[in-house]
Structure formats: structure tokens, C-alpha cells
Amino acid sequence: MIDLALPPGLVLILGAFLIPQSRGKHRTALVLGLPVLALALVWLVSGNGGAGIPFMGLELDPVHATAAGRLFATVFAIMAFAGGLYALRQASILELVAAYVYAGSAIGVTFAGDLVTLFIYWELMAIGSTLVIFAAGTDAAGRAAFRYALIHLLGGVLLMAGIVAHGVDTGDLSVQALEPDSLGTVLMLIGILVNAGAPPLSAWIADAYPEASPSGTVFLSAFTTKTAVFALLVMFPGTEILIWIGLYMVFYGIIYALLENDMRRILAYSIVNQVGFMVCAIGIGTELALNGAAAHAFAHIIYKALLLMSAGGVLMMTARRKCTDLGGLFQTMPLTAINGIIGALAISAFPFTSGFVTKSLETSAAANEGLLVVWLLLLAASAGVFLHAGIKFPWFVFFQKDSGLRPAEPPKNMLRAMWLFSFLCIAIGLFPQPLYALLPYPVDYQPYTVGHLVSQFQLLLFSGFAFFVLLGLMKRTLTISLDFDWFYRRFFHGLALDVSDRTSQTRADLEQRGRARIGRLIDNLYAHHGPHGILARTWPTGSMVFWVAVMLGCSLLLYFL
């Protein structure tokens, strides 16, 4: 390690602005080299890379390395490399710049030693991710980016308000384990949960992510929700309410993914489901559970990106994303199908894949703590994951009835990114110890026991059997899934339009009445002061003398009285 004060995430953030200035091989070297350099710095920078930075009377600590922070930063850098490789020849310049600012900001969060630094990177992430969605260049993407920005502005405001309140209460803004027992910490917890996709705002993930470009969705799947998991892990471990929030997310994601017809929305809802496992484990709060959440986040970034790379390749080559329009693609896209299947097996925790050696840490933690209901629900959820992501996605996209489509494989750079992540899914599954060595706490766990293998094979076998037995019910139709976002996309929007119409009509009525009253006033004034009004008439001299005499007489009378 070296004693360096340069935050590793800044390499990606600042380097991103060099991408528009480069061309050809130089751009390729920059896109692939920046994440490698950031990854090197993640492991070269010491725990206290330099002196604090003074800022408005505070001392910021932007280079504070921890075991959990290095683990998350490592997978973020790997994701940036693979995402850059996947996007190299397809993504727009705006998307690449925004994606690298996004990735660098996520790494910055993992090294933040104080809440102000964390918040700055947190908001940079929101800006970068919004631009990644917007860079798709479609009307739907523009509207989704706007809604996404509103949700994350709300989360950022709550987080900032919590930081301020916490700082006023305690005078300590360091990133550390907290209890949600004050206004400040509760607001921070809610702000972080917004980014995690917790209820009731989970729908922003399925609303926004599928509207990005194929490569943009891959980037989006990795950073926002996982930085939220990291923040929960280091700031709110053992907070019991997170167990139940996580379980809600787990089953919410499964139900909506099973109902969904759009292949990328299936995988977007699956993100909520998988993050729910991690949130639940953080709520359990033991060392094994926290290790499980961290390991699951590491593996999830890789296999979820792999699934979305496969789906993105299909979308790019067919211009179709609904399961009802796809099928039989394995005939001309076998490599994409194989990679998609590997990702599907990994997310389903199939033995000898990364999901098997990471998710089991979480379920074992629940069992060790005697949380029978939680353990049973997590096992049931594992079966649900196999149904919606392990079987449904590859079956309806690459197999089922032949759609008649005969697309070619996607470009080589996209396939290379897929093979890289397929290799990691299998390598981690076969040799989990290197990953275990990076976890925040010492690990004494053996995933490959006879009992664990038998129980997992049984779970997957009966889940697969149930899928094909109920295949008629699993087939999708041209339907739309309504979620909580209906309230702010439709209901509140319609309500606002109705209020606007009514207030506009009331304003018009009041304006009309006011004009009528002013018109009558003007008419009266004209009648008295106009050229033919009583006050404008010519009065004879005699009449004027008479009235002057009357006025003088009245004055004298009053004087003598």
C-alpha cells in the first residue's frame, strides 16, 4: 500500500472527460484503462491516504479505506471495465462519460470517511445515472430520466437533512454504525433506502432502467442499489426493521417479475428481489449475515450484469424486448444464450456458480440466529428466483415457440464482456475462498456440504418442475403491470391537471367578473364626467352666482350661530 491522498474514484470521474477528446485506439485504451487504474488504486491506497480536507469548518476524509469499502470498490471497478468493454462501440459519448462519472462516484462512496463526502459522491451518482438513462435518446428515456431524477432528488434531500440533523445533534459526521433512534439517523436511513429500491418507491428501478440503452442498463444495474447496500451495511447493521423491509422487497420483486412480459423489466424487478436478500441480511446484523450481504452484492453485480448483457444483445439485434415477440433465438444466437443461461444459473444459486456460495451465507445466518420464519421465507424466495430469472428469462427469450426471428450474434466486444462475467460466475462458484478472504469479517464457512448440495438441488428441481407444470399460466400476454409509480405517473399527474383546469377556470371566471365590474365603474364615471355628463355641462352665469350667494349665506349663518 502507498500513502496517497488521491481518491480512487476520481480517476474515473476526471478521466471520463478525456473520452470525448480521444479517438480510435486511444479511446479504447482510455475506456478500458481507466477502470484498471482505479482498481489498482483501490488496493494501493492505504487506509489513511492523506490529511483531511478543510471544508466550511469541517474536515473531510475522502480516502478512508475499510474491508467492506475495498470489496465494493473492487467489484465496482471490475464492473466499469466490463461495462466499458460491452459499450465500447455502441454507446454514445454522453453515455460513456456519464457512466464513468457514475462508476467513479460509486467508488468514491465506498472510500468516504465522512458523511459530507459520502453525500457529494451520492449526488454525483444521481446526476451520472440520470444522464445514462437520458443518453438513450428516446422520448420514453427522457421521461423516465425525469422521473428517476425526481425520486433521487427526494432521496438526496432526505439524506442531506438527516446528515445536518445528525451533525447538529452529535457534532460527529464520520461514517460509522448508527442506530435509527433520532430524527437525523431516521432521515438518513430513509434516504438510503430510496436508493436501495425499498417500498414504497421500488418501482423506479423497473420504470427507468429498461428505458436506457442496452449498455446503459448494464451500468445502471450495478451501482445505485449496491452503494445503498454498502451504506446500510456500514451505517445501519443489525437494524431489525431492515429484515422485514428486505423480505417485502424479495417477494415484491418475484411477483412482479413473474407477471412481467418485458424481458428487461423482468430483470429490473429481479434487482429489487436480490437487493431484498441483502437488506434482510443486514437487518440480521451478525458477522455471517453481513459477510453474506457483502458477498451476495459482489456476486450479484456480476451475474445481473451478465443477464442484462445477454438481454441487451437480444434487444440490439432484434429491436424487440417483449417475451411474446421472442423465442427460438438459440438457433442463431447460441453464444448469447449460453451466457444468459450461466447468469440465470448463478442468480438461482445453482451449485458451482457464484450465487450458490454467496446467498447461502445469508440463509445460514438466519438459521443460526433461530429466525425460522425468515429462513423459511428466504428458502421460498430462492425457489421464486429460479422461476422468474433462472427459467423464465432464458426459456421465453431463447427457447419456447419459434418466433421466426433469425438475428446474428451481437458484436465481439459485447460477447467478450459476457464471457468475462460468465468466467467470474463459475470461477467464484468453484473457488469461493479468494472472495471470502475479501469479506469484512473472518469467514469460517464451507458451502459445499452434502446437506447444502442436496437441499439446493431439491429446491431447484421442484421449482423447475413447477414451472413446466404451470407453463400455461407462466406464458405472458400483452399486459401492463401497474405498480406504485402509477400514483405519481398517472394519478397525481391527472389530479394535478384537474386542479390546474379547475383553478384556470376559476381564475377566468373571476377575471371576467372583475372586468365586468370595472366596465360598469368606467361607464358610471363616463356618465358623470364624460363630454355629455352632468359635471361636464355648461352652466349659465346667473346660476353660478346664485349658488355662490347661497354658499356665502350658509357660511355667515354658521358663523353667527
Amino acid in position 527: A
- Which of 280-289, 323-332, 498-507 ranks highest by mean pLDDT? 280-289
User: If pLDDT is split at 50, 70 and 90, which confidence band does 11 have?
Assistant: very high
Q: Model confidence over 261-278: pLDDT tens digits? A: 888 999 999 999 999 999
Q: What is the mean pLDDT of the chain?
A: 88
3-state helix, strand, coil in the chain (%, to 5): 75, 0, 20
Predicted confidence (pLDDT) at residue 177 exceeds the cutoff of 50: yes
Give the pLDDT score at 153: 93
User: If pLDDT is split at 50, 70 and 90, which confidence band does 503 have?
Assistant: confident
Q: Among candidates 212, 219, 215, which has minimal Cα distance to 410? A: 215
pTM recorded for the entire structure: 0.86
Q: What is the mean pLDDT of residues 111-127?
A: 94
Helix (H, G, I), strand (E, B), or coil: what is residue 22? coil
Predicted confidence (pLDDT) at residue 323 exceeds the cutoff of 60: yes
Predicted confidence (pLDDT) at residue 529 exceeds the cutoff of 80: no
Classify burial at 171, counting beta carbons within 10 Å of its beta carbon; exposed 0-12, middle 13-18, buried 19 or more: exposed
Q: Model confidence over 419-438: pLDDT tens digits? A: 999 999 999 999 999 999 99
CB atoms within 10 A of CB 15: 20
Q: What is the mean pLDDT of residues 369-381?
A: 91
Predicted confidence (pLDDT) at residue 532 exceeds the cutoff of 70: no
Give the pLDDT score at 56: 67
Give the pLDDT score at 475: 64
Q: What is the mean pLDDT of residues 460-487?
A: 72
Q: How far apart (Å, rounded) are the C-alpha atoms in residues 122 and 153?
A: 11
Q: What is the mean pLDDT of residues 340-366?
A: 92
Q: Among candidates 261, 276, 55, which has minimal Cα distance to 167? A: 55
User: If pLDDT is split at 50, 70 and 90, which confidence band does 541 have?
Assistant: low
Q: How far apart (Å, rounded) are the C-alpha atoms in residues 337 and 355?
A: 19
Lowest mean pLDDT among 162-166, 305-309, 337-341, 465-469: 465-469
Lowest mean pLDDT among 41-45, 347-351, 446-450, 502-506: 502-506
Q: CA angle, corner 89, sides to 83 and 92, nearest 5?
A: 80
Lowest mean pLDDT among 5-14, 70-79, 150-159: 5-14
Higher pLDDT, 532 or 139: 139
Give the pLDDT score at 90: 86
Predicted confidence (pLDDT) at residue 329 exceeds the cutoff of 50: yes
Higher pLDDT, 4 or 129: 129
Q: What is the mean pLDDT of residues 333-344?
A: 94
Give the pLDDT score at 506: 87
Q: What is the mean pLDDT of residues 203-225?
A: 93
Give the pLDDT score at 61: 82
Predicted confidence (pLDDT) at residue 129 exceeds the cutoff of 80: yes
In the chain, % of residues over pLDDT 70: 92
Amino acid in position 438: L
Predicted confidence (pLDDT) at residue 1 exceeds the cutoff of 60: no
Predicted confidence (pLDDT) at residue 49 exceeds the cutoff of 50: no
Helix (H, G, I), strand (E, B), or coil: what is residue 274? helix
Predicted confidence (pLDDT) at residue 364 exceeds the cutoff of 70: yes
Give the pLDDT score at 139: 93
Predicted confidence (pLDDT) at residue 495 exceeds the cutoff of 90: no
In the chain, % of residues over pLDDT 90: 58
User: Using an 8 Å Cβ cutoff, are 134 and 53 in contact?
Assistant: no
Q: Which residue has the cell 446467498?
A: 359
Q: Model confidence over 478-489: pLDDT tens digits? A: 667 777 777 777
Higher pLDDT, 94 or 544: 94
Predicted confidence (pLDDT) at residue 537 exceeds the cutoff of 70: no
Higher pLDDT, 509 or 470: 509
Q: Among candidates 293, 274, 272, 282, which has minimal Cα distance to 244? A: 282
Classify burial at 238, counting beta carbons within 10 Å of its beta carbon; exposed 0-12, middle 13-18, buried 19 or more: middle
